[in-house]
Amino acid sequence: MRLAIKNIFNNPVSGSTDLFQKISYSIIAVIVASILFSLLQKNFVFYIEITDLHKGNSSDFETFDNQSSNSVANFYKEPLEKSNLTHNFLSNETKLENFKLVKSIPNITISRLPVELKEISSVKDRKELFIKIALPLIISENEILKSQNQKIKQLKNTFKYISKNDALWLIDKMKRYKVKNKSIDQLLVKVDIIPVSLALSQAAIESGWGTSRFAFEGNALFGQYVWGNDENGIVPTERKNNEVFSIKAFSSLRESVASYMLNLNSNHHYNEFRNNRFMLKNTEQKISGIHLAEFLKNYSIEDNYPSKVIGIIKTNNLEDLDDMKIDKRIIAANILSDVI
């Protein structure tokens, strides 16, 4: 096409209509060029590089490619001096509902809760910020579990031919998930996802929507107990003198999420939970957080704990988030809470 346009101007036009034809060709060339430019613009991949505010590491960049998901892309079309992907995502102006429409969420890992969370007067805004922080962590850990589950299935189907490394990997997983009979089938029951709605509901309850002392001091979102003089435990102020439990602390929020999922997937108290999850999955039913919450009676000493979990899920429409995925086009380093 460029060659054709070039030839229009390079090839002389003979006859008495030279001037008219040259003008005509010029108009045609302008029209063709405009069409080409429009096509290029339509297919142009808008790519932003935004400096991460991670202290002491300003050389890191976060990138967002908005080739699709136009309803989300508008959040990142700010002047570069104002644009920070993490800040924009956590901002009250960026609504979670918009991400629900495209079923994806930025690949952002917040390492610890921001102190500002406690200071938000609006309950709705505080809940939304908490969900934005916890949601990518939960989805990311679920993706790991899903990948491991698929690998276990593959190794089961080709068990006679697996390599030494794969065999050692299976043994390690059986130890980690407390599979005593070395059954691959039992391992498949244990290594699987936790419904996003269920995890979010429990995190909200156990951390007071991210405002508890344990959440801030120890990144503890799920109120897991440790016993004895554990150095990684935070002693509750209301603990009695004869009691020896404490709340398990973590180096990051994501570590807390991973520990919670391992707990539900390995502890014998949740056998019924896992068996029902397996049944739902293998009858091609949705792995429902509301349904599986019924089997978490042992998670808390509260008599109505499953009902409380279900109530949080329903009141906050958390099942709308069960099918959310991480947007792999966004590359983001672990971010500390001082970004907001």
Q: What is the pLDDT of residue 66?
A: 33
Q: What is the pLDDT of residue 160?
A: 86
Asked which of 114-118, 149-153, 252-256, 319-323 is least confident by mean pLDDT, the reply is 114-118
3-state secondary structure of 47: strand
Q: What is the pLDDT of residue 274?
A: 98
d(CA 123, CA 118): 10
- The residue among 240 and 275 whose pLDDT is bigger is 275
Q: What is the pLDDT of residue 233?
A: 81
Structural tokens at position 11: 């090839």
d(CA 85, CA 87): 6
d(CA 303, CA 125): 30
For the stretch 203-254, pLDDT in tens is 999 999 999 999 999 999 998 988 766 667 887 777 767 677 788 999 999 9
pLDDT of 132 > 50? The answer is: yes
pLDDT of 52 > 80? The answer is: no
Compute how many other C-beta atoms are within 10 angstroms of the C-beta atom of residue 254: 21
d(CA 148, CA 191): 7
Q: What is the pLDDT of residue 49?
A: 26
pLDDT band at residue 74 under the 50/70/90 scheme: very low
Q: What is the pLDDT of residue 252?
A: 94
pLDDT band at residue 78 under the 50/70/90 scheme: very low
- Region 249-261: mean pLDDT is 95
The interaxial angle of helices 305-315 and 196-207, nearest 10 deg, is 110
pLDDT band at residue 200 under the 50/70/90 scheme: very high
pLDDT over 90 for what percent of the chain? 51
pLDDT of 73 > 90? The answer is: no
> What pTM did the predictor assign?
0.73
Q: What is the pLDDT of residue 336?
A: 45
Q: 254, 274, 253: which is closest to 264 by C-alpha?
A: 274
Q: What is the pLDDT of residue 80?
A: 29
- Region 62-77: mean pLDDT is 34
Q: What is the pLDDT of residue 93?
A: 80
Q: Are 245 and 226 in contact (CB under 8 A)?
A: yes
**Range ranked top by mean pLDDT from 52-56, 120-124, 241-245, 316-320:** 316-320
pLDDT band at residue 85 under the 50/70/90 scheme: low
Q: To the nearest whole number, what is the mean pLDDT of the chain?
A: 78
Q: 109, 114, 145: which is closest to 130 by C-alpha?
A: 114
Element (H, E) at 248: strand 245-248
Q: What is the pLDDT of residue 150?
A: 97
Asked which of 61-70, 79-88, 188-197, 328-337 is least confident by mean pLDDT, the reply is 61-70
Q: What is the pLDDT of residue 28?
A: 65
